[in-house]
Amino acid sequence: MALTERYAATLDFLFSRLPMFQRVGSIAFRADLTNILNLLAGLNMELNRFPTIHIAGTNGKGSTAHLIAAMLTAQGYKTGLYISPHYVDFRERIRINGQLVSKRFVIDFTEKVKPLLDEINPSFFEITWVMALAWFEKSKVDIAVIETGLGGRLDSTNVITPVLSVITNIGMDHTAFLGDTLPKIATEKVGIIKPGVPVVIGEKQEETTPVFNHFSEKNKAPIFFADECIDVQCLEADLLYATYNIRKMGSNDLWFKDLKVNLAGGYQLKNVRTALCAIDKLKPFFKVENAAIIEGLLHLKRLTRFMGRWQKLGDDPLIIADSAHNTEGLTLAMNQLKELPATALHLVIGVVSDKDIAGMLSLLPKNATYYFARPDLPRGLNALKLKEQANSFGLSGKAYSSVKNALKAAKRKATPSDVVYVGGSTFVVAEVIRFSYP
């Protein structure tokens, strides 16, 4: 069997054999670290064989992870990056200097772990995470940037002891698992704080700051709030780049003038600030020169294969896809959408059923035409049900049998001067990217 066929068969096995939270929800959630520790023991793998940066947060952790990885890569470090979910290819989850894990390694690792599956009954995420650790160790990375999956304290990734922890922000998401208040959610996220390990907090919030301060003091972990360390001013932004002036707090001089970042949308400002603060606090462990910061951020997409956030998919009409999928993320995305010149707006929207759908719908513009579709996964909300709920918020449009058909309809109706926005779920964006770029 050819390598491509073997790889496809391996993915079929992983997707069908292992419960995957993104597809099936709560039955795939593991509320402890036992499986990970048993998998590591069964494979004779040791932890902390290479330095790591551990990133948690409700929004922005993926973007922040890519930003940090790009700067480290530009400095010349062999940099691992572990993220989730993927958009087109499973291997996007595991990268080194932007290169995806090899198909052969995915096949070989899966074969190696199969004898443990019946005994341990791991989730898809747990297997993927251990696969990433194995690939990074085999490849002898200098450092790896690790994004949590869900939460922090009980997240499968929370078996590492990083050189730096990062928590981007706290918002209302996954409340069934993490708690129904910001302090409760923060208590889960701060579980990644380790004794003596510095932690960067991306956003200072009144309700969560006492939680952060308590846990950092308890763990004797130096704590830095990014918005108290770095001042960031967005000068201009378009669909390819945003330009910033950067100043360290307490200094009258600019750290960077006209710093160009290869991320569309000024709404990435907080993530840029968090990533720069993290790089600054990383200096005792890894030195990153200013030239590497400039190079890494200027060429972020080439260095990391970043996708899915405010991504342009077409012109005339302009088509933008963005994976914001909760109220905090969607607020930023909708503010950014307002900045785009458009004769008319067309929104292709799909959601998963366990989100705060009412909260999300309340943020969407009423002066738009809607194309509702169900993401192609068990958690996807039926398009007709979504349309009914949307109608109660004054949003009008039609339901379609698939995301692909919904986008086709939007493109047919839109004029060249209109804007088509695709979002509501990471999985809606993933479907659009897959059939836009086969």
Domain count, the chain: 2
Q: 325 and 296, same structural domain?
A: no
Residue at which a domain ends, from 279, 304, 329: 304
Tell me, what CATH number does 418's domain have? 3.90.190.20
- How is residue 15 written in tokens? 């997707």
8 Å CB contact between 357 and 389: yes
Tell me, what CATH number does 110's domain have? 3.40.1190.10
The pLDDT, as a whole number, for residue 25 is 44
Q: 370 and 280, same structural domain?
A: no
**Residue 203 belongs to what domain range?**
3-304
Q: Where are the alpha helices (DSSP H) in 140-289?
A: 175-178, 182-189, 209-218, 226-229, 269-281
Q: 229 and 177, same structural domain?
A: yes
Q: 69 and 8, same structural domain?
A: yes
23 has a pLDDT exceeding 80: no
422 has a pLDDT exceeding 60: yes
* pTM strictly above 0.85: yes
Tell me what the mean pLDDT of segment 347-367 comes to: 93
Model pLDDT for residues 172-211, shown as the tens digit of each residue: 655 555 666 888 888 889 999 999 999 999 999 899 999 9
The pLDDT, as a whole number, for residue 179 is 60
Model pLDDT for residues 117-167, shown as the tens digit of each residue: 989 989 899 999 999 999 999 999 999 999 998 778 889 999 999 999 999
Q: 334 and 294, same structural domain?
A: no
Average predicted confidence (pLDDT) for the chain: 92
Tell me what the mean pLDDT of segment 214-232 comes to: 96
Residues 6+ apart with CB under 8 A from 397: 347, 369, 370, 371, 372, 387, 390
Q: Give the strand order in the sheet containing 318-321.
A: 311-314, 318-321, 419-423, 345-349, 368-372, 396-399
The pLDDT, as a whole number, for residue 175 is 52
Q: Is 179 left (phi over 0), alpha (psi -120 to 50) or beta?
A: left
Give 236: exposed, middle or buried? Use CB within 10 Å, 0-12, 13-18, 19+: exposed
Q: 209 and 120, same structural domain?
A: yes
Model pLDDT for residues 394-417, shown as the tens digit of each residue: 999 999 999 999 999 999 999 999
Q: 341 and 247, same structural domain?
A: no
Question: Residue 317, preceding bond cis, omega within 30 degrees?
Answer: yes
Distance from C-alpha of 400 to C-alpha of 387, rounded to nearest angstrom: 10
Q: 315 and 299, same structural domain?
A: no
The pLDDT, as a whole number, for residue 371 is 98
Residue at which a domain ends, from 304, 320, 352: 304
What's at 54, amino acid-wise?
H
End-to-end CA distance of the chain: give it in Å, rounded. Answer: 23
Residue at which a domain ends, from 270, 304, 338: 304
Q: 271 and 154, same structural domain?
A: yes
Q: 261 and 157, same structural domain?
A: yes
Q: 332 and 263, same structural domain?
A: no
Q: 158 and 238, same structural domain?
A: yes
